[in-house]
Structure formats: C-alpha cells, structure tokens
Amino acid sequence: MNAIRETWLVFRHNTRIALRQKAGIVFGVLQPLLYLVLFGPLFATIGTWETLLPGLLAQVALFSAGLAGFGIVFDARSGVLERLRVTPARRTALLLGRVLSSSLTLLVQSVMLLGAGYAFGMRAPLPGVLAGLVLMALLGVGLAALSNAIALTMDPDAFAPIMTTGVVPLVLLSGAFLPMSMAPAWLDAISRATPFRYVVEAVRDLFAGRYATWTVAAGAAVTAGLTVACVVVGTRVFNRENA
C-alpha cells in the first residue's frame, strides 16, 4: 500500500504542475490540429478522418510522452530531484508517478484532438475510439518511462535536440499521415521494423469498427510488449541513477 500511496502522491504533484501549465497542453496538440485542418480536406476518399486521426494521435503520443524527460531535466537543475533522493520513497514510485502523470496529459490532448475530429465529421464508433485511447495511453506510459531514463543518462542540454531529431522520423515511418503501403518498397520495409506502425494501423482498424483483426491483435501485442520493455528499462535506469 505504501508503494501505491507514494506513486499517487508523485502523480498528484506532477499532475498539478502540468495542469497549471495550460499553455503547454494546448501547444502540444496545436500542431496536430493544424495538420487536421490543412491536410484533412486534401483527401477525397470516404473515411478521411478515420485514417488521419489515428496517425495524429500517434504524433501526439510520440512528442508528448517521448519528451516527458524534460520534467526530470528541470527537476535535476532546480534541485528537486536531489531532495527526492534523500526521501524514503521507493524509486519505482517516483518514476511511475511521473509516467502516469505524463500519460494523463497525453489522454487530455488526445481527447481534445478527437473532439476536433468529430467536429470535422469523423464518424468513428465510440468503442473503437475508447480502445484506441487505451492503446495510446499504454504507449504513452512506455514512452514516458523511456524518455525519463534517457534524460537521466545524457547531457541535459543535448536531450531536446537528440529526442526531437529521433521522434520526427519515427512519426513519419509510422504512417501517421499516409498509409505506408503507398510508400516505395524500401521505405515500407524500414517502416515495418518500427513498432509504431503497428500501433497506428491497429488504431485505424479500431476507428473503422474492425475489432477482431490480426492488425488489431498485432498492434495490441506490440504496444503491450513495448510498454513493458520501456518500463523495465526506465525502472532499472531510475533505480541505478538514484541509488
């Protein structure tokens, strides 16, 4: 119970900080909203929004959760992390509280984006949308854990440019904007080596009302495996760096 309470306290603290920074939440979803407005009308086929929205959700997840390590960089510089190290709180709870708070921020941004999608005419079924949000939340947990681990092990000044440079090609290779089946064979092969493509394709199936498909099963399995692996790595790094 102590571990749960410690996780809750860290989660509540970080969530309060995030909610006070409303501009950060809005700007985090502003670019995908612009893509929604500018790119959506360019598609002439039926189901435009159900194809585009899952990709934009993946973009939000990769940028929002993937850059969650900024928080721990700030805490390290301000001395907050040093003070936390001398508390009896479990190191795992310190990490999970941060990660869950980042995932909640991601969900808030995703709901904002989905609201805009429905306003533009998206007709995705609610069960599919909810299932897609679950996948994105799990992905956010894993990415946030990995981001915090990376932030702890590298030069704080290098964190932002390196992570941003790494996230952009992952977004493009995931097929966020156009299905990778339309890409050249060599680019399609590279895309298949990245886990995020399977997540995006699974969410697209869910948004189209196709639940019992191999695509959904593969996406769910990849998301779960990636999340577990990232949390394990993040926990080990966090425990070692804060020993």
Q: What is the pLDDT of residues 155-196, one digit of tens each?
A: 777 787 888 888 888 888 888 877 777 778 888 888 888 899
- In which domain, by residue range, is 133 found? 2-241
Which one, of 167, 152, 111, lies nearest residue 235 by Cα?
152
Q: How far apart are the first and last CA of the chain?
A: 22
Which residues are CB-contacts of 172 (< 8 A; sequence separation ≥ 6)? none
| Averaged pLDDT score across all residues of the chain | 83
> Which has more pLDDT, 76 or 102?
102
**Residue 40 pLDDT more than 60?**
yes
The string of pLDDT tens digits covering residues 52-87 is 889 889 888 888 888 888 778 777 777 777 777 667
**Helices assigned H by DSSP within the chain:** 2-20, 22-39, 48-64, 70-78, 80-85, 91-120, 126-152, 156-173, 185-192, 195-207, 214-241
Q: What is the pLDDT of residue 155?
A: 77
Q: What is the pLDDT of residue 44?
A: 46
Alpha-carbon gap, residue 219 to 30, rounded angstroms? 26
The string of pLDDT tens digits covering residues 119-158 is 888 888 999 999 999 999 999 999 999 888 888 888 777 7
Q: What is this structure's pTM?
A: 0.86
Alpha-carbon gap, residue 65 to 230, rounded angstroms? 12
Q: What is the pLDDT of residue 228?
A: 93
Number of domains in the chain: 1
Instruction: To the nearest 10°, report the CA torsion of 168, 230, 210, 126.
Output: -90
